[in-house]
Amino acid sequence: ADDTATAKGAASLWRAPIDEFRRLLLHDPAVAWDFVSLLALRQRQMERRLGSFAFKRTEARLAETFRELSGGFATRCDHGFGQHLRLTQQELADLVGASRPVVSTILNELRDKGVLGYNREYVCVRRIEDIERVYSHGMSLAQCKTWLKQNLPQAEKLALASNAEAARRARLADD
């Protein structure tokens, strides 16, 4: 059976015979480097996803998926930080390895708490100003310093030994 894919937006597709692709990689080191870098990035992403499936709760996997799909919710919209993610709840469930009812329940709980807004056109993180504390690995905090200063100036930043430890602390925090 042939593999298929469906684009959610504009897409470009290039199909080349394998021999032509090999010649391109052999004769253009920059293209070869970019290709190997892309493969390495995809491998790291897959390793993270496998670790998430094995060790993280559905809520954490859903949050990571939103962050991945949105580029980190870097865009401010009229009602918070949002992205127009045109995905059904079933598609989200498939991405995080959960059932649609579980994803729907989590999204509704977050919406009821005022943390998240969503409809068929967008997902939006609301009330970002209510975040009081950011737990993270020190390197991650340093990498996000400018964004944190601009968007969460009120939040206490706590550097921990790892992002896994930060996630545990955040989950156990009572605020």
- Of 141, 136, 150, 164, the closest CA to residue 74 belongs to 150
pLDDT digits (tens, 9 = 90+) for 86-139: 678 888 889 888 999 998 888 888 788 777 777 766 667 666 666 778 888 888
| C-alpha span between 32 and 21 (Å, rounded) | 10
pLDDT digits (tens, 9 = 90+) for 148-165: 787 778 888 889 888 778
Joined tokens for residue 140: 């991650």
Count other C-beta atoms under 10 Å from residue 138's C-beta: 14
The DSSP-derived string for 91-155 is HHHHHHTS-HHHHHHHHHHHHHTTSEEE-SS-EEE--GGG--EEEEEHHHHHHTHHHHHHH-TTS
- Higher local confidence (pLDDT), 141 or 70: 141
pTM of structure: 0.56
